[in-house]
């Protein structure tokens, strides 16, 4: 059995790696850097995770756990959840930019879980039906992650880091306003792209 201090050290190392990988990327980060950030020895990092690759896998799993728990967040605890998710958002953005196999798995799982979440919303009546559930989920997730991947450009125009809660909430609210209340007052663009979609298929 691991001691409580052992588990605490492991979590502290993982959190330090999550932040450092998110800021600098996996390739530019060393085990020694993570150890220094966590206030432990490099030997302890290796003891817990085996290697930098093992540390990255632990970060991937932590991000996946955060995604899996996303549907369990109550509206009352939303602010606290957003604050604690800042390192996760940064890590995810960097992983997507690096386009690793792990990042592809993360993106796929996020899309699949979002598709199921939206399907549940349809059944409960708070999501409108769609003719293409997969495309809706992929597009929705892309909209959510776009500001993180385009962090420098989005932050420059919104005046803050999109991974930080204040800017993230500002962008999310604008997006939700469009999704909830609509953006266009008629269906001219929807009709045009529906026609184009039909004509492009065999």
Residue with the bigger pLDDT between 99 and 6: it is 99
Q: What is the mean pLDDT of residues 139-167?
A: 91
Size of the chain, expressed as the number of residues it contains: 202
Half-sphere exposure of 26 (CA within 13 A, CB side): 23
User: What's the whole-model pTM score?
Assistant: 0.75
Residue with the bigger pLDDT between 130 and 61: it is 130
- Whether 85 has a pLDDT exceeding 80, the answer reads no
DSSP state of 67: H
CATH numeric code, 59-199: 1.10.357.10
Q: What's the CA gap between 68 and 160, in Å, rounded?
A: 27
Radius of gyration of the chain measured on its C-alpha atoms:
20
89: closest CA among 163, 36, 176? Answer: 163
- Whether 79 has a pLDDT exceeding 60, the answer reads no
Structure confidence at residue 76 (pLDDT): 47
**How many of the other CB atoms lie within 10 Å of CB of 189?**
10
Q: What is the mean pLDDT of residues 100-126?
A: 89
Residue with tokens 């409580």: 4
Residue with the bigger pLDDT between 74 and 175: it is 175
Q: What is the dihedral of CA 157, 27, 63, 112, to 10 degrees?
A: 80
- Whether 1 has a pLDDT exceeding 50, the answer reads no
Beta carbons of 25 and 92 less than 8 angstroms apart: no
Least confident of 85-89, 166-170, 175-179, 192-196: 85-89
Q: What's the CA gap between 52 and 30, in Å, rounded?
A: 7
What is the greatest pairwise CA distance in the chain? 64
Distances (CA, A) of 156 to 46, 160, 170: 38, 7, 14
């Amino acid at each position: 059995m691991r001691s409580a201090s052992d588990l605490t050290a492991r979590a502290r190392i993982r959190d330090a790696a999550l932040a450092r990988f998110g800021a600098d990327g996996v390739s530019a980060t060393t085990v020694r850097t993570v150890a220094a950030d966590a206030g432990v020895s490099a030997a302890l990092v290796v003891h817990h995770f085996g290697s930098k690759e093992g540390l990255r896998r632990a970060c991937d799993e932590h991000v996946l756990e955060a995604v899996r728990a996303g549907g369990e967040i109550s509206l009352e605890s939303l602010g606290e959840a957003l604050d604690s998710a800042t390192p996760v958002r940064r890590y995810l953005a960097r992983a997507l930019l690096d386009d690793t196999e792990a990042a592809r798995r993360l993106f796929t799982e996020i899309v699949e879980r979002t598709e199921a979440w939206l399907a549940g919303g349809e059944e409960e009546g708070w999501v409108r039906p769609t003719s293409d559930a997969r495309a809706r989920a992929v597009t929705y997730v892309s909209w959510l992650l776009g500001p993180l991947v385009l962090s420098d450009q989005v932050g420059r125009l919104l005046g803050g880091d999109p991974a930080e809660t204040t800017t993230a909430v500002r962008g999310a609210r604008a997006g939700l306003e469009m999704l909830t209340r609509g953006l266009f007052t008629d269906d001219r663009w929807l009709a045009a792209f529906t026609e184009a979609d039909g004509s492009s298929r065999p």
